[in-house]
Structure 1
Amino acid sequence: MYPYGTPTLLPAQAFDPVKDAHDLRKAMKGFGTDEDKLIEIICRRNNEQRQEIQRQYKTHFGKDLIEDIKGETSGNFQKLLVGLLRPIVDYYCAELNDAMAGLGTDEEVLIEILCTLSNVEIHTIKNQYLRLFGAHLESELKSETSGNFKRLLISLCAAARDESGRVDPNKAKEDARELLKAGELRVGTDESMFNMILCQRNYQQLKLIFQEYESITGHSLEKAIKKEFSGDIMEGLIAIYKCVTNKAEYFASRLHKSMAGIGTNDKQLIRVIITRCEIDLADIKVAFERLYGKSLKSWIKGDTSGHYKHALYALVGEQRSS
């Protein structure tokens, strides 16, 4: 779906799903589990190939691969493998559903997913969400969020962004002035103007608008957003801004945040690795090292352990070390 970006996980060459299915069964049969074999197969095939392996597994053994994996593994290692085995659309739907289930809402997940995907991806997720959970994603978002942030998510959920890639310098000047009038030049902020421009214009046009804004004011629109907004709406608008200016840096910051400070947000770490490894994780690794001065591998090594760590290494395209 993304012609722009360097993945860390490529389709396996000389792929043999029947052999893979048999090898996985062998790795889990009898006493003990051969976790290295699970990693070697599941973490070194792309999503399409993993779906084919699951079909062969069910055909040959009359068993569900995900259920068998759940029975043989535990903790974050299990969560990672199960996430990898789900079709990517189902995985996104489950993450969105989890973010809104129970008490409280994990707004960061909603932002990370809805602010970064293309129209066709959002439409596909919306249709599948309804099939899987019997509810409309949009109505779930409406009941779980409020105010300006709710309006931002509903705009994104409409997936009506212009994706023509056409740029209009005069229109960019106009939009930059509108953003200035809606924010820094008035008392209070007209969030609807920010919402409209950032959710409707194509990425190339937005780049131009951001440049215009900077040449008019002498500072970035990001700085203005941070001054004019706060909380979830600010985070959402900043995420769109970062995805337009440098998507790899946005996801590098998500990975950094998942591991910085005390404890690790494994759910976030797993989600970014699973969703980006076949798209642009190699670019994200480069951005990570540039922003934080140390490699992604060294951070993973410091924050994870055991089979979970080695599985992450495989997905981020790193050689196994101690």
Structure 2
Amino acid sequence: MAIIGLLTKRTNEQRQQILVKFKLMYGKDLIKELKSELTGNFEDFIVSLMDKKTLYDAKCLRRAMKGAGTDERALIEIMCTRTNKEIHEIIAAYKVEFGRNLEKDVVSETSGHFKRLLVSMCQGAREENTTPDMAKATREAQELYSAGEKKLGTDESKFNHILATRSYPQLLATFSEYTKISQRDILNSIEREMSGDLKSGFRTVVMCVRSRPAYFAERLYQSMKGAGTDDETLVRVIVSRSEVDLVEIKQEFLKMYHKTLYKMIEGDTSGDYRKGLMTVVGSDV
């Protein structure tokens, strides 16, 4: 299909221009045309590519919370990995597109400490200092140790406060100090001390502090390993990270799993859907 080459080889900005030109030339809405011509995963993928990044994130969040049940993994994958600027833009896009308040929806769809973590993320108020304060890193590493490994039970709110508000360079320093104090890696402690969605959320923050591309490489691998494919996750990660850090994700993927992302997609998908994904991902690492 000519459309694969046309849309998958363009940047998001160029696709926005194509939308406008199509309407100008044919008096039709290209997205509606695509939806009437395409089906299944391929339709989802191509239509998703047509959205501006932050609007796409907003739509994914709405889909994760709409109707019966909540897709907590999608909430974590978006809310716990985006920058302050991206969070603010997503909240604005969510309001414009759905006439709803993202934080209120999160509050009504989640509960407990997991809800608190996501509400913290909704603030888009993570500190952005690039030089870590080493005295603070040592102090807060001790606080994390005292809130978890050192005591019976866990003070989740202490973990939340530090993991949700400190800058990435500051957290890297804190994690390093934490290992010295506790003789454990912070991820190992989170695995031992936390459970469920809260554990997944904290784990995601830690992984992104260390390497966002490695986190997304893991998400992609998990979406394709074993029998069946989690197409929703596969599409969401490829679409949301293309033109952001997909090049680095491909490099991490090869390092972590000793195969290219391109090859894994080739073996796990089929038809036009496969062609489209492979065009966006590209065979070079």
| Residue type of the alignment partner of 1:127 | A
Query: Are 2:126 and 2:164, in contact at CA under 8 Å, matched by a contact in 1?
Result: yes
User: What does residue 138 of structure 1 align with?
Assistant: 103
Superimposed CA distance per residue, residues 79-116 of structure 1 (whole angstroms, 9 cap, x where no aligned partner)? 11100011111111110000001111000000000111
In the TM superposition, residue 318 of structure 1 has moved relative to its aligned partner by 2.1
Q: What is the distance in 2 between the residues matched to 1:293 and 1:203?
A: 28
Higher helix share: 2
Deviation at 1:166, TM superposition (A): 2.9
Q: Report the Cα distance in structure 1 between the residues aligned to 2:92 and 2:255, rounded to whole angstroms.
A: 38
In the TM superposition, residue 246 of structure 1 has moved relative to its aligned partner by: 1.4
Note the residue ranges of structure 2 that are not aligned, 5 or more in a row. none
**TM-score in terms of structure 1 length:** 0.87
Deviation at residue 164 of structure 1 after TM alignment: 2.4
Question: 1:163 matched to which residue of 2?
Answer: 128
Q: Structure 1: which 4+ aligned runs deviate by more than 2 Å?
A: none
Post-superposition Cα deviations, 1:239-298, rounded to whole Å, max 9, x if no partner, equal: 000000111110011001111122111110001000111011111111112211221122
> Relative contact order (alpha carbons < 8 A, sep ≥ 6): 1 or 2 greater?
1
- The question of 1:91 aligning with 2:45 is answered no
Q: What's the counterpart of residue 67 of structure 2?
A: 102
Number of matched pairs: 284
Cα separation, 2, equivalents of 1:241 and 1:165? 17
Q: Which residue of 1 aligns with 2:162?
A: 197
Counterparts of 1:119 and 1:295, CA distance in 2: 31
Structure 2 residue aligned with 1:117: 82
Bigger Rg, which one: 1
Aligned to 2:244: 279
Matches within 5 A, 1:198-237: 198-237=163-202
Q: Does 1:67 align with 2:32?
A: yes
Aligned to 2:283: 318
Match of 2:269 in 1: 304
Post-superposition offset of 1:165: 1.6
* Cα distance in 2, alignment partners of residues 282 and 87 from structure 1: 20
The residue that corresponds to 1:292 in the other structure is: 257
Q: What is the distance in 1 between the residues matched to 2:34 and 2:68?
A: 29
One-letter identity of the residue aligned with 1:89: T
1:245-260 superposed matches below 5 A: 245-260=210-225
Residue 15 of structure 2: aligned partner: 50
- State yes or no: 1:79 paired with 2:44: yes
Amino acid at match of 2:198: I
User: What does residue 129 of structure 1 align with?
Assistant: 94
Q: Work out whether residues 262 and 282 of structure 2, in 8 Å CA contact, stay in contact via their aligned partners in 1.
A: no
Q: Equivalent residue for 1:14?
A: none
What runs of 5+ residues in structure 1 fail to find an aligned partner? 1-34
The residue identity in structure 2 corresponding to 1:70 is K
1:192-213 deviation per Cα after TM superposition (whole angstroms, max 9, x unaligned)? 1100100110000000001000
TM-score by structure 2 length? Answer: 0.98
